[in-house]
Structure 1
Amino acid sequence: MHNEAQHKVTNQKRDHRPRWLHVWWKIMDVRVGIIPLPVYVLLIATITTFVLTGKLPSEISVAIAVLALCGFTCAELGKRVPGLKKFGTAAIVATFLPSFLAYRHFLPEKVLATVDTFTHASNFMYLFIASIIVGSVFSMDRRTLMRGFIRIVVPLGIGALAAAITGTLVGTLLGLGWQHTLLYIVLPMMAGGVGEGAIPLSMGYSEIFHLPQGQVFAQLLPAIMISSLTAILLAGLLNWLGEKRPHWTGNGVLERQPARTLEPEDHVPEHPDSGTIAAAAITAITLYLVGLLCHRLFSLPAPVAMLFIAVLVKLCRLISPSIESGARVVYQFFSTAVTYPLLFAIGTAMTPWSALMSALTVPVIVTIVCTVVTLVLTGFLVGRVVNLHPIDTAIITACHSGQGGTGDVAILTASNRMSLMPFAQIATRIGGAITVTGTLLVLTRLH
């Protein structure tokens, strides 16, 4: 009775609030991405005024505001493409529209300078990847995690081999020549992106074939860009297929068997406090720093080292359930709030539109599409054989043809499966390293 009376009093108080206040609250609940509509309008007005007065501050708060405004605007445009919003168009628009706008000088130079400086100086893409990897690894069941890492190697290996054969045959039949197709189109697509793939490949080709590295790099880059775009499109298509055939997908869970029920001592709290979330965040950053140290000491890519360390920590139960719950919240925050601003930064600062346009010939595009489709289709079929969810396996194999870490973010965003980031990093980093190393070793012996 007391609670009912208190509830009535509360309702009476709410009824005495001005009507305009309720209307305003409803407007505040309308969001562009994560930004409340009035805040969105205020952001546009403020940033525009800064640009027009010629003084856009270079501090971190301004950079975050610019990335959030532009990233979520592009994403909302992508989500409203008629008939295509379920096919990953939000990620595609958030990545490639900024690249086009920057190329055509439709974005203010001061905005571009702010985004470019912040992106390269802060390297915040790796903060994002660290948070996603650690959060998703710590949130997984241990046995599922271990079996998934072992089994994903099979579809990745078979898929890469089938894609290399198919791509080379198609390129040869279209008149590109088998050697050019293999070395300058097919292998760069699966080399792990630009920094870890195209650059070391171009250096190796330059020394082996006695060519200028810049010339070689310019030939490798278009294949990587277009293959990444193709993989993003296929990831969106796979997400749509998963909605139509739910028995083919685990919606971000790789194994087909249901995860075991957690034991009482493994119970993860649902609502961690702010201190626990902060502890999980600094844990993720620390593991990334350990990865950086491994890179300096052993030349192992930092994300790969961090991934293996996070898996080892999880398997050995070195992190308490409360920290695991905090890591899950960190993962959810970065996945929700940072993905599209990051894609906008990638589009403007790391995706040259001119490189995409330079490869727009029918034989090259057909070769790239056939290679990526073969990689994804093989992953789908082999995934079923090794008892993995075929759609999720196909998405991971698609990451093998993406633009490195940036491609992983875009592909998993398009497929709405960011929890697969640890497996995507295996495909991109380790698969790319094997591709680059194997290619250069064989060429050195043959040439």
Structure 2
Amino acid sequence: MTSTELPGAAVPKIETDRKSLWARLMDYDLGIIPLPIYVLLLIVLVSFTYMGKIKGDIAFVIGIMAAFAFTLGEIGKRLPVVRNIGGAAVVVTFVPSYLAWRGWIPEQMTSVVETFFKSTGVLYIFIAAVIVGSILSMERTTLIKGFMKIFVPLAVGSVCAAAVGTLVGTLLGLGTWDTFFFVVAPIMAGGVGEGAIPLSVGYHGITGMDQGEVLARVMPAILVGNLTAIICAGALSSLARRRPDLTGNGKLQPGGHDDLLAGTEMKTDGNVQNIAAAGMIAVTLYLTGALAQQLFAFPAPVVMLALAVAMKLFHGITPRLQSGSYTVYKFCLTAIAYPMLFAFGIVLTPWEKLIEGFAPANLITIVVTVVTMTASGYFTARLVNLYPIEAAIVSSTHSGMGGAGDIAILSASNRMMLMPFAQIATRIGGGITVALALILMAMLA
């Protein structure tokens, strides 16, 4: 009797084991993609590529960006040494630039990603969601004190970086004029759209140089400066793990409790209505900033930032919207940040320009400038009661390529919650740098 029961008893066990294996595979994610779905996605993309049928539909773009971004992200997290200095963000940002340059990413894929990235403005919506979500879910006292205090390390860092960077470049034979205006100033100008282009227009108007020539000269400094800042942020994150007394793990300053959710821990919200409402707040503030830029020539991100801060300071956000904003913010970090970095690497980081910045004199000058800025933020933080590592990371974003650069730098340090302060460094600090550089060139030309 026992012998006849054993085979029948084994069947349910085999079925259970199979289900258990499938469940384990489905619960193992590459980035945000369950492993079996990841394999299926790769097969589908390869098949469409082989048939030459890759389209510009949003589903294709999402699939391409997710497959490449999360694959590269997993590689970056596992690379020795590199993984300790923000390797995932570095790999996701800069490896696609090399792969596209070598033609190892099919042209039909790069084409649809570039078209989508440029035509939809998806980067700006992503940044809006991160900025608004992080501000509205931030401790109110932190927001009030932090915005005032962060200007100290930023100002000190900018002055020190400009002085040291210009001196080093001059000593290396680049010349004081070329070092300051074509290396140091572009690094701190706030990126391409907000920094390099206004500088090129201004330099053209003052000196008569061809605008394209100016762009070609300043782009390597911006690209390599951004890469250096990413590495600095990753190194600071590694230091934070060894010296917890130097970091707030994403908090800019010690102390502070939120007046709306006092005594509670911020958690993601499962209420779809609250999440959708918070998302619409981000979109509306972004559009309001865009309108202000059209009507008054005010930078759209700065207007959006100011409106979000005002809503928070004047109790314009209720607890349900604050919780929903935090969910929007966390979703963007988890699901969208790496795909945005991948597109950024393909579209805005041409490999040829990046390589130009590695000429020895240029490279040393750029690295010294960014490290000086970051170190100045670190050492002046205690003067205004900020955590040194967080202040240094925010200071390093002054070397970022606009919003996309901020994403890469903060991702490398796992401190995306510092985005509002990074935007101050990038947008306001960059605008001040551009204005001062043009005024100084006009005076000296």
Query: Secondary structure of 2:84's match?
Result: coil
- 2:140 corresponds in structure 1 to 142
- 1:59 corresponds in structure 2 to 57
CA contact (8 A) 1:268 1:325 kept: no
| CA distance in structure 2 between the aligned counterparts of 1:20 and 1:167, rounded to whole angstroms | 62
**Is residue 443 from structure 1 mapped to residue 418 from structure 2 by the alignment?**
no
The partner residue of 1:260 within 246, 250, 257 is 257
Code of the aligned partner of 1:245: R
Query: Secondary structure of 2:38's match?
Result: helix
| CA distance in structure 2 between the aligned counterparts of 1:16 and 1:323, rounded to whole angstroms | 49
- 1:415 corresponds in structure 2 to 413
The partner residue of 1:75 within 59, 73, 76 is 73
Code of the aligned partner of 1:311: V
Q: Which moved more, 1:352-361 or 1:223-232?
A: 352-361
| CA distance in structure 2 between the aligned counterparts of 1:313 and 1:240, rounded to whole angstroms | 35
| 1:272 CA displacement | 4.1
Query: Secondary structure of 2:83's match?
Result: coil
Code of the aligned partner of 1:62: F
- 2:126 corresponds in structure 1 to 128
| 1:409 CA displacement | 0.5
* CA gap 1:312/1:88 in 2 versus in 1, 3 angstroms: same
The partner residue of 2:425 within 424, 427, 430 is 427
- 1:3 corresponds in structure 2 to none
| 1:57 CA displacement | 2.1
| CA distance in structure 2 between the aligned counterparts of 1:374 and 1:392, rounded to whole angstroms | 16
**Is residue 365 from structure 1 mapped to residue 363 from structure 2 by the alignment?**
yes
- 2:109 corresponds in structure 1 to 111
Code of the aligned partner of 2:109: V
Alignment of 1:136-175 (within 5 A): 136-175=134-173
Alignment of 1:26-65 (within 5 A): 26-65=24-63
* CA gap 1:268/1:391 in 2 versus in 1, 3 angstroms: closer
- 1:302 corresponds in structure 2 to 300
Code of the aligned partner of 1:395: I
| 1:439 CA displacement | 1.3
* CA gap 1:269/1:211 in 2 versus in 1, 3 angstroms: closer
* CA gap 1:81/1:111 in 2 versus in 1, 3 angstroms: same
Code of the aligned partner of 1:189: I
The partner residue of 1:98 within 96, 99, 105 is 96
Code of the aligned partner of 1:61: A
| CA distance in structure 2 between the aligned counterparts of 1:21 and 1:231, rounded to whole angstroms | 46
Q: TM-score, normalised by structure 2?
A: 0.95
| CA distance in structure 2 between the aligned counterparts of 1:269 and 1:181, rounded to whole angstroms | 46
CA contact (8 A) 1:266 1:321 kept: no
Query: Secondary structure of 2:408's match?
Result: helix
Q: Which moved more, 1:239-248 or 1:136-145?
A: 136-145
- 1:231 corresponds in structure 2 to 229
Alignment of 1:267-278 (within 5 A): 270=267, 271-278=269-276
* CA gap 1:55/1:246 in 2 versus in 1, 3 angstroms: same
| CA distance in structure 2 between the aligned counterparts of 1:202 and 1:264, rounded to whole angstroms | 47
| 1:269 CA displacement | 7.6
| 1:18 CA displacement | 2.7
Query: Secondary structure of 1:86's match?
Result: helix
Residue segments in structure 1 that go unaligned for 5+ positions in a row: 1-13
CA contact (8 A) 1:381 1:390 kept: yes
Residue segments in structure 2 that go unaligned for 5+ positions in a row: 1-11
| CA distance in structure 1 between the aligned counterparts of 2:258 and 2:356, rounded to whole angstroms | 53
Give the 4+ runs in structure 1 shifted more than 6 A. 14-17, 264-269
| 1:265 CA displacement | 8.3
Aligned residues: 433
* CA gap 1:320/1:355 in 2 versus in 1, 3 angstroms: same
| CA distance in structure 1 between the aligned counterparts of 2:215 and 2:100, rounded to whole angstroms | 21
| CA distance in structure 2 between the aligned counterparts of 1:103 and 1:272, rounded to whole angstroms | 43
| CA distance in structure 2 between the aligned counterparts of 1:73 and 1:363, rounded to whole angstroms | 35
| 1:86 CA displacement | 1.9
Query: Secondary structure of 1:400's match?
Result: helix
- 1:339 corresponds in structure 2 to 337
| 1:316 CA displacement | 0.7
The partner residue of 1:402 within 400, 403, 411 is 400
Query: Secondary structure of 1:85's match?
Result: helix
| CA distance in structure 2 between the aligned counterparts of 1:263 and 1:289, rounded to whole angstroms | 27
| 1:82 CA displacement | 1.5
* CA gap 1:245/1:114 in 2 versus in 1, 3 angstroms: same
The partner residue of 1:350 within 348, 352, 358 is 348
| 1:65 CA displacement | 1.1
Q: TM-score, normalised by structure 1?
A: 0.94
| CA distance in structure 2 between the aligned counterparts of 1:263 and 1:424, rounded to whole angstroms | 24
- RMSD over aligned CA atoms reads 1.6
| 1:17 CA displacement | 6.5
Query: Secondary structure of 2:150's match?
Result: helix
| CA distance in structure 1 between the aligned counterparts of 2:270 and 2:114, rounded to whole angstroms | 35
Code of the aligned partner of 2:350: P
Identity %: 48
